Each structure stands twice: as structure tokens, then as C-alpha cells.
């Protein structure tokens, strides 16, 4: 099926390779690691490279590229690349596509590797040999690394490596994760293999050209593998009924399994929403202090304003989420490493199937309640394109933690603190309703997408349930750190640019007449007042100046411009400015409303003053209150649906690979937001609410 373009690609790859070696004269040799998922491939990679590696992306796809280097016995350095896990060289997912391209020399900028290490799990030799023998049939210099050798020994499994070498014609080396003695030996073998002349004939199992050999029918390859395994593997009598089986009896049990799953998820949620708050408030305090420091050090003017109100405020909005995101990535890596992740997928698949998704969509969607960015990143484990795309498209609908401040402010200000039956608070119910609305709409949209333009599956939903194992914490932390760094760089760099643009929109054009008026008012105050009265007066002037400034800025004009559109929702131009300014991040709505409504910051910070300012805000056209409970609920619903977040736009573009899907997501969410707020406001008025 895929054999068509290979020879051409291969030639192109070799051509590039020649060019490169010609240019550089000498070139560092390159080793790649290939293997099924769950073989401990990354552990071997970490052991070889000593945890020092860089992560990036393969051009044009969202597949993570991990590269490092190791030193050989003679002091030479070789580069090592950890390819993503694959089950076959016949690609079915973006991950496998990359493996295929690299091994066939068709990957842009990468010549065919000098040596391929295939990592096999000793306790799962039979299926692992499928990819391994396919790889050997490429004819490249190859070593089989039989990992988890120690575990296999303990469970009474014996593998005759000499026979395995004889039957496959490939050098076989045992390994046991990070254990030094095995790694030392492996390094020696690598060195020897690299020294060999490339003219030595590679041993392959089937006749014909490369793609014919590699892509023989699975039936035929498995027949060969069965022969090998039969001759090489000695198993202790009876199937082992070990710890893994006992754990599975609980964790996939129809009652205990579901309870355990809910318990685990409750724990994850609890840690993200309460424990992470401690470092988060610490970070935001540090950022605040830094802004205050800069305000003191730098002279007043455009530069100070740009740095403090633009760059630091914008980037700070992203950095503040780092603790949540790191925790989330830690849990994901931990569950993956222990093998629990596969069980969670197993337990949840039936539920997710009802909306056309699969079990693997659950965790990305759950992560999105903390932040859309890690949620969308976590969809990479979903192989099927349509499942993955549907999950990505609805992930921004999950009510992320940036929406929470908006809900809390508006409920505190406008929802009466009533209790039903003495203990169910109306404010709590409102908050819960927002979350339920987000979940319900998200799953509903997923079902609609999967029934319309993302119809059908390209491959059956199958996955392996690997044996449980003790997590390797060094690995878990390494994975967590890699992904968090990626988030910071990804989101941070673009947010940096957008923050400057947004700052410009709310700060310019200046209004010279108003500036002069405030300047003279300030001078007057300085000459007439002193002490506390002066401070109060100056603060008041500053507040009024900021309010006038934002109103006459580009953002202000935009806010007025969209007023006719949002009028049916009960919003006026002041909320319009808030909506425009919070395009970058939803929580900016609060600070913008505070500026627009001249909110006084009192003892307890901005919130109390803002609540007061919101309650007393008047609608100049009608003279009535601007914010009624109905408008507040409408505004909350608007923010449940609206896709107001630059980081989300960036991650959508990166992970879907197209601006088309990104704009589609922004579009459909904005339509939902408008429609939702319209129904709340107009429907509420028809029913006689205020």
C-alpha cells in the first residue's frame, strides 16, 4: 500500500546525505532507537545519553523529536535519536510515519541512520519481533536490545540469545533499564558495530528489494517469528498469575475499577485546583513585585508601560499556570509509566464511545479543565486522526481555570447568597451549572463533529494493556520537564508578541486634550492638598485618566464598534471593551472592567472595589443598572463558550497543523458564545427575569 513512493524517497534521502557529508567533510555518526511502545525504549535512551537531550519537533508534524549524544569507548561522540514508539513500519499514525521516514531515509534533513537499535521487551518477545525483524529487513546495521532482562529472569522466562542471533542474523544484547553493567556492555557493542565496514552484507529474512522484504504479509512474518520464539524462548510452566493480574482484578473490576478511577481523578483534580494554588499565588506575587520594582526603576513613559502593562502582564498570565501544568504532566507521565493509563482508557472507552470519541480522549479533556494547552498536547496519544481532531476541537470548550475568576467575580457580585434547604447555595449551583454547561456542550459538539465532517475511523481502536511496573521517577520527571518546557516556549513566545500588540491597542492613540486636563488637575491637587487627601485625590485622577485612556484607545473604539452586535445580549460598549481586551486571555476581562468602571482598590484588593463598581454601574441610555443578574449570567455563559485565549490559538495551529481548523474553532465557539448569551438574556427577559 505504502510501497509506491519509497524508492524515490530513499534516493532523495541518500542524495541529501551525500551532500551533507561532502559539505562537512566528516560527519558524526547517528544511532536511532526503535521499538514498540512500553518496551522501556526511553529509559535505554536516557541511560545511553545520561539524561542530557534536547526535544523538538519533526518538521511539519506534531511528533516529538528527542535527540542526545553519547561518547564511545574511543572518545568519539555519536548522536542518538529516540524515535517514537511504533508497532509496524507500515505507518498508521503520525508517530509511525516519522519512524518510517527516518528509517527509509525519507525524513527531511536526516540521512539514513548509521545504526539502528531495536528495543524489545523480553516478556513480550513475540509481538516485539514483528517490528524488530521488519527493521532488520531494511538491511541497515542493526542491534536487538532485549530489555527488562532481569524481570523476565525473575518470572522464569529464559531466552537463548545465541540461538536468537543465529536465527535472525542480528547482534542481540540484554539490558535492564538503567542498570550500569548492561549499559556498559551495550555501549561496547555499539562501538564495535559502528567500526564495521558498511560493505559487510546485512542479513535479511526475505528475498526481494527493501520494501518487498519489509512489507511481507503479517501472516508470513508471524510464521517465521513463531519458529524463532519456539526455538529460543523457554517459559516456566503455566501462565504467571502475578501482581499485575491481581491489580487488574481490582482496577478493571466493574465496581472497584470505576470507583478507583473516580478516586484517582478526584485526587488529580484536587491537587490541580488546590495544591497548585500555593505556588501559583507565589508566582503571581513575584511577578507583581517585579512590576512594582520596574515601575520604580524605569522612568514614567511608554517604555515602562510597555514592559509592565504589556510584556510582564502578558507573559505573567502564562507563567502563572505553570504549576498546574507541571502537576498535570507529572500525573500523565506517572500514569503512563506505571501502566495505569491503559487501564483508565480501558475503563472509560465505553463512555467516550457514546459521543464518538474513544477512551484516550478522556485525559486530554480532563486536562483541559486546568488549561487547554496541555489538554491539546495530550491528544498526541490518540492515533486515529478523526478521534484526535474531534478531541482537539472541543478541548477549548472545557471550562479552564482562567474562566474561574470570571465566574467567581460575577457570582459574588450578582447572584444572591441564598440557600435552598439550608445548605445548597445558589452561588454554588450557578458555578456548577457553568461547569455542566461546558461539559455537556463539549461532549455534544464532539458527537456532532464525529457524525458530520469527522465521520468514521481509519483504524480499529485497539491498545495494549502492559504489565504494571514501578515507575521510574527520573523518567517521569524528565518527561514532565520536557513537556512543561515545550508549553513555556510555545505559549510564552507567541504570548510575548501578542501582549505587545494588545498593549498597543489599549494604550494608543493617546488623547492629548484629556492628558493635558488630567495633568493640570494633578498640578492643582499638588498645590492645594497635602497628606492623605492628596494621595486619595491623585489616585482618583489616575483612575479617571486610565478609564478615559482605554475608552479613547483602539480597543475602546473596537468595543464601541461591536456594541450593536452585543446589544441584543444586554452588553454595552463597556463590556465590549472588556471582550476585546480579553481576546488574549479570559482573566483580562476582570482587570479591564476594573479600569473601565473606575474601580477603587480597597483593603482586600481589587475584587471588593470592583464588585462595588459593577453593582453601581449605570447604563447611560436607560439610566438603570448596567449589570443585572441576568446580564451577569449571560456574560458568564458567554465566557463558558468564547474562545478568548491566544495560547489556545497557537496550540490549535501547531497541533492541527492548519489555520483552517484554528479559525473554525474560534468561529464555532464565538457563535456558541453569542447564541448562548442571547438565549439567556432574551429568554430570561421573556420569562420576566431581570
Partner 1 sequence: MPEMNLVTLDRMLPGEGGRVHGYQEPKELHHRLKELGLVEGTRLRVRRCAPLGDPMELSIRGYHLSIRKEDARHILVIRDEEPCGCENRRGHRGGQEWRDKHQISK
Where does this chain bind partner 1 (CB under 8 A)? 1, 87-88, 90, 92, 123-127, 130, 217-219, 222, 239, 241, 248-249, 252-255, 257-258, 342, 345-347, 349-351, 353, 457-466
**Do 170 and 144 form a contact (C-beta atoms < 8 A)?**
yes
CB 387, min distance to partner 1, A: 12
Residue 572 CA to residue 405 CA, distance in Å, equals 21
Q: Which is nearer to partner 1, 53 or 343 (CB)?
A: 343
Q: Would you give the end-to-end CA distance of the chain in angstroms?
A: 64
CB 13, min distance to partner 1, A: 24
With both helix axes pointing from N to C terminus, report the angle between 473-507 and 322-338 in degrees, rounded to the nearest 10: 150
Give the long-range contacts of residues 272-275, CB within 8 A, separation 24 or more: 272/324, 272/327, 272/328, 272/369, 272/370, 272/401, 273/370, 273/401, 275/327
CA angle 576, 577, 580 (to 5 degrees): 85
Q: Which is nearer to partner 1, 57 or 88 (CB)?
A: 88
Residue 547 CA to residue 597 CA, distance in Å, equals 7
CB 457, min distance to partner 1, A: 8
* Interstrand relation of 77-82 and 64-71 (parallel, antiparallel or unpaired): antiparallel
Q: Which is nearer to partner 1, 254 or 296 (CB)?
A: 254
Q: Which is nearer to partner 1, 251 or 569 (CB)?
A: 251
CB 155, min distance to partner 1, A: 11
**Do 122 and 148 form a contact (C-beta atoms < 8 A)?**
yes
Radius of gyration of the chain (CA): 30
CB 214, min distance to partner 1, A: 12
| Sequence-distant (≥ 6) Cβ neighbours of residue 226 within 8 angstroms | 126
With both helix axes pointing from N to C terminus, report the angle between 385-394 and 646-656 in degrees, rounded to the nearest 10: 170
Residue 445 CA to residue 451 CA, distance in Å, equals 10
Residue 497 CA to residue 310 CA, distance in Å, equals 10
CB 261, min distance to partner 1, A: 9
The grid coordinates of residue 305 equal 508601560
Taken in order 355, 357, 361, 362, the sign of the CA dihedral is positive
- Using H for helix, E for strand and C for coil, what is the string for 129-160? HHHHHHHHCCCCCEEEEEECHHHHHHCCEEEC
CB 286, min distance to partner 1, A: 45
Q: Which is nearer to partner 1, 4 or 531 (CB)?
A: 4
Taken in order 396, 397, 400, 403, the sign of the CA dihedral is positive
CB 239, min distance to partner 1, A: 8
**Do 39 and 119 form a contact (C-beta atoms < 8 A)?**
yes
**Do 169 and 136 form a contact (C-beta atoms < 8 A)?**
yes
Q: Which is nearer to partner 1, 313 or 348 (CB)?
A: 348
Q: Which is nearer to partner 1, 92 or 546 (CB)?
A: 92
Burial 513-539, CB ≥16 within 10 A → b, else e: eeeeebeebeeebeeeeeeeeeeebee
CB 174, min distance to partner 1, A: 18
Residue 158 CA to residue 236 CA, distance in Å, equals 8
SS3 8: helix
Q: Which is nearer to partner 1, 150 or 544 (CB)?
A: 150
Q: Which is nearer to partner 1, 39 or 367 (CB)?
A: 39
Q: Which is nearer to partner 1, 213 or 490 (CB)?
A: 213
CB 107, min distance to partner 1, A: 22
CB 365, min distance to partner 1, A: 18
CB 226, min distance to partner 1, A: 9
- The total number of residues written for the chain in this structure: 690
The grid coordinates of residue 48 equal 545511553
Q: Which is nearer to partner 1, 218 or 444 (CB)?
A: 218
CB 444, min distance to partner 1, A: 20
CB 233, min distance to partner 1, A: 9
**Do 264 and 344 form a contact (C-beta atoms < 8 A)?**
yes
Q: Which is nearer to partner 1, 469 or 517 (CB)?
A: 469
Q: Which is nearer to partner 1, 38 or 42 (CB)?
A: 38
Residue 176 CA to residue 661 CA, distance in Å, equals 44
Q: Which is nearer to partner 1, 238 or 603 (CB)?
A: 238
Amino acid at each position: 500500500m505504502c510501497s509506491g513512493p519509497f524508492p524515490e524517497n530513499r534516493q532523495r534521502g541518500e542524495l541529501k546525505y551525500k551532500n551533507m557529508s561532502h559539505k562537512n567533510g566528516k560527519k558524526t555518526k547517528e544511532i536511532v532507537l526503535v521499538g514498540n511502545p512500553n518496551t522501556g525504549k526511553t529509559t535505554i535512551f536516557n541511560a545511553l545519553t545520561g539524561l542530557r537531550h534536547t526535544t523538538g519537533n519533526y518538521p511539519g508534524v506534531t511528533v516529538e523529536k528527542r535527540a542526545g549524544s553519547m561518547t564511545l569507548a574511543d572518545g568519539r561522540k555519536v548522536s542518538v535519536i529516540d524515535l517514537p514508539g511504533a508497532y509496524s513500519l507500515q505507518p498508521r499514525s503520525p508517530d509511525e510515519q516519522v519512524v518510517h521516514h527516518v528509517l527509509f531515509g525519507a525524513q527531511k534533513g536526516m540521512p539514513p541512520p548509521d545504526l539502528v537499535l531495536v528495543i524489545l521487551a523480553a516478556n513480550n518477545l513475540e509481538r516485539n519481533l514483528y517490528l524488530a525483524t521488519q527493521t532488520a529487513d531494511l538491511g541497515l546495521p542493526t542491534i536487538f536490545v532485549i530489555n527488562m532482562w532481569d524481570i523476565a529472569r525473575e518470572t522464569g522466562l529464559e531466552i537463548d540469545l545465541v540461538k536468537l542471533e543465529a536465527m535472525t542474523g542480528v547482534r542481540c544484547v540484554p539490558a535492564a533499564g538503567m542498570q550500569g553493567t548492561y549499559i556498559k556492555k551495550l555501549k561496547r557493542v555499539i562501538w564495535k558495530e559502528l567500526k564495521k565496514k558498511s560493505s559487510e552484507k546485512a542479513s535479511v529474512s526475505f528475498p526481494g528489494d527493501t520494501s518487498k522484504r519489509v512489507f511481507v504479509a503479517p501472516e508470513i512474518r508471524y510464521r517465521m517469528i513463531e519458529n524463532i520464539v519456539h526455538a529460543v524462548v523457554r517459559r516456566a510452566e503455566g501462565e504467571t498469575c502475578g501482581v499485575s493480574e491481581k491489580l487488574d482484578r481490582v482496577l478493571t473490576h466493574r465496581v472497584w475499577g470505576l470507583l478507583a478511577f473516580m478516586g484517582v481523578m478526584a485526587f488529580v483534580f484536587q491537587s490541580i485546583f488546590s495544591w497548585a494554588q500555593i505556588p501559583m499565588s507565589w508566582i503571581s506575587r513575584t511577578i507583581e513585585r517585579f512590576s512594582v520594582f520596574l515601575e520604580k526603576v524605569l522612568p514614567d513613559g511608554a517604555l515602562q508601560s510597555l514592559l509592565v502593562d504589556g510584556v510582564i502582564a502578558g507573559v505573567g498570565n502564562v507563567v502563572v499556570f505553570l504549576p498546574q501544568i507541571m502537576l498535570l504532566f507529572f500525573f500523565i507521565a506517572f500514569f503512563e509509566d506505571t501502566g495505569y493509563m491503559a487501564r483508565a482508557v480501558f475503563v472509560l472507552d465505553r463512555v467516550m464511545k457514546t459521543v464518538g470519541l474513544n477512551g484516550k480522549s478522556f485525559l486530554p479533556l480532563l486536562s483541559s479543565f486546568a488549561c487547554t494547552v496541555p489538554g491539546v498536547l495530550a491528544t498526541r496519544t490518540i492515533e486515529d486522526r478523526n478521534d484526535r481532531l474531534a478531541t482537539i476541537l472541543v478541548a477549548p470548550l472545557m471550562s479552564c481555570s482562567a474562566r474561574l475568576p470570571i465566574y467567581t467575580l460575577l457570582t459574588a457580585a450578582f447572584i444572591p447568597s441564598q440557600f435552598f434547604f439550608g445548605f445548597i447555595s445558589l452561588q454554588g449551583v450557578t458555578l456548577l451549572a457553568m461547569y455542566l454547561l461546558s461539559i455537556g456542550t463539549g461532549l455534544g459538539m464532539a458527537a456532532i463533529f464525529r457524525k458530520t465532517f469527522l465521520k468514521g475511523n481509519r483504524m480499529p481502536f485497539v491498545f495494549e494493556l502492559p504489565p504494571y511496573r514501578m515507575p521510574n521517577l527520573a523518567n517521569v520527571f524528565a518527561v514532565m520537564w520536557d513537556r512543561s518546557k515545550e508549553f513555556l516556549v510555545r505559549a510564552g513566545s507567541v504570548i510575548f508578541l501578542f501582549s505587545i500588540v494588545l498593549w498597543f491597542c489599549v494604550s494608543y492613540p493617546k488623547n492629548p486634550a484629556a492628558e493635558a486636563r488630567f495633568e493640570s488637575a494633578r498640578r492643582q491637587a499638588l498645590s492645594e492638598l497635602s497628606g492623605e487627601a492628596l494621595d486619595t485625590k491623585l489616585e482618583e485622577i489616575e483612575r479617571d485618566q486610565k478609564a478615559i485612556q482605554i475608552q479613547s484607545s483602539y480597543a475602546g473604539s473596537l468595543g464601541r464598534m461591536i456594541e450593536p452586535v452585543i446589544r441584543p445580549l444586554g452588553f454595552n460598549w463597556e463590556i465590549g471593551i472588556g471582550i476585546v481586551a480579553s481576546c488574549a486571555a479570559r482573566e483580562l476581562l476582570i482587570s479591564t472592567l476594573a479600569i473601565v468602571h473606575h474601580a477603587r482598590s480597597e483593603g482586600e484588593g481589587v475584587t471588593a472595589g470592583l464588585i462595588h463598581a459593577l453593582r453601581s454601574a449605570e447604563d447611560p441610555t436607560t439610566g438603570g443598572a448596567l449589570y443585572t443578574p441576568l446580564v451577569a449570567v449571560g456574560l458568564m455563559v458567554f465566557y463558558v463558550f468564547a474562545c478568548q485565549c491566544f495560547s489556545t490559538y497557537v496550540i490549535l495551529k501547531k497541533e492541527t497543523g492548519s489555520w483552517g481548523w484554528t479559525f473554525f474553532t474560534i468561529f464555532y465557539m464565538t457563535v456558541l458564545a453569542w447564541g448562548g448569551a442571547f438565549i439567556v438574556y432574551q429568554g430570561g427577559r421573556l420569562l420576566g427575569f431581570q
